[in-house]
Amino acid sequence: MKNKLLTLAFAILYICLQPCLGQGSDLLWKGVGGKEKWEQTTYILFTVNGNGSKYIQDGRRFLIHRSSGRARFEGRTEKGSNLVVLFNYKTGKLKKYYINGEEISSSSEIQESFNKVQEQFQRDNEFLFLSTKTELHQAKSKVSSRIVNAEKLLSIPIQLPHNNISGELLFHPETGWIKQISESNGGTYLVNGYKDIGGGIYLPTVFKNVQNSNKSIIFPTVAAFTDMQEEKFTQL
């Protein structure tokens, strides 16, 4: 009798989840606050700790203009130098580079440093904006259901272009909020700390790596703006 009841329970759960399986993309956008709201978001400021950063210390700060790709980075290297880097994350081009308040002309050494800043940005960006990634929404036909720690979740495969996140994404079938990332290499991130960053946009701010705390990521500050001083992208 007990086995029959368990079978019946899982059958009912499967049937209930079926309407959600073809709506993975819509649910993920719901978790963010809606695709339209996201597309109307212009500027985003965020600070980051963790994520296995070696070249840049915790407390790094990025300000981005989403449509143009213009970006401003502020942070300290592991050797204690204060950096301000102005660049375009869509084109990968460096605009201006400052060390300890002094603008430095481009050189092979500066380009190498910029590459490290840009790589760190890509890693941080892929976690913070995970729910909005095109690759996820193109995989909506591959959504399936899972039971994880007695919780009903939906599962979708993920493979981002920079290979920073590859594996399986688990999210709530009602809220659309990401709950867990299971990487192909066996690593697991528990995701929480969703916050309204402004304009009704919700993003996760805590990614706890179960196996290695050094890989955990926290975004202490995340804020969206409709206006920003142009000088932030052109000068110190």
Q: Does residue 156 carry a pLDDT above 50? A: yes
| Nearest to 228, CA basis, from 52, 100, 65 | 65
Q: Does residue 92 carry a pLDDT above 90? A: yes
The CATH number of the domain holding residue 139 is 2.50.20
Q: How many domains does the chain have?
A: 1
CA 119 to CA 55: how far, in whole Å? Answer: 10
Listed in sequence order, the residues at least 6 apart from 31 whose beta carbon sits closer than 8 Å to its beta carbon are 131, 171, 172, 175, 176, 177, 178, 194, 202
Note the pTM of the prediction, 2 decimals: 0.85
**pLDDT by residue (tens digit) across 19-62?**
444 467 788 999 999 999 999 999 999 999 998 888 899 999 99
Structural domain containing residue 145: 22-233
Q: Is residue 64 part of a domain?
A: yes
Q: Specify whether the backbone of 58 is left (phi greater than 0), alpha (psi in -120 to 50) or beta.
A: beta
Q: Is residue 112 part of a domain?
A: yes
pLDDT at position 149 is 82
**pLDDT by residue (tens digit) across 169-222?**
999 999 999 999 998 888 899 999 999 999 999 999 999 999 999 899 999 999
Listed in sequence order, the residues at least 6 apart from 42 whose beta carbon sits closer than 8 Å to its beta carbon are 65, 66, 67, 224, 225, 226, 227, 228
Q: Is residue 11 part of a domain?
A: no
pLDDT at position 11 is 44
CA 118 to CA 166: how far, in whole Å? Answer: 20
Q: Is residue 48 part of a domain?
A: yes
Q: Is residue 54 part of a domain?
A: yes
**pLDDT by residue (tens digit) across 63-73?**
999 999 999 99
Q: Is residue 1 part of a domain?
A: no
CA 107 to CA 90: how far, in whole Å? Answer: 21
Inter-residue contact 28 to 172 (CB < 8 Å): no
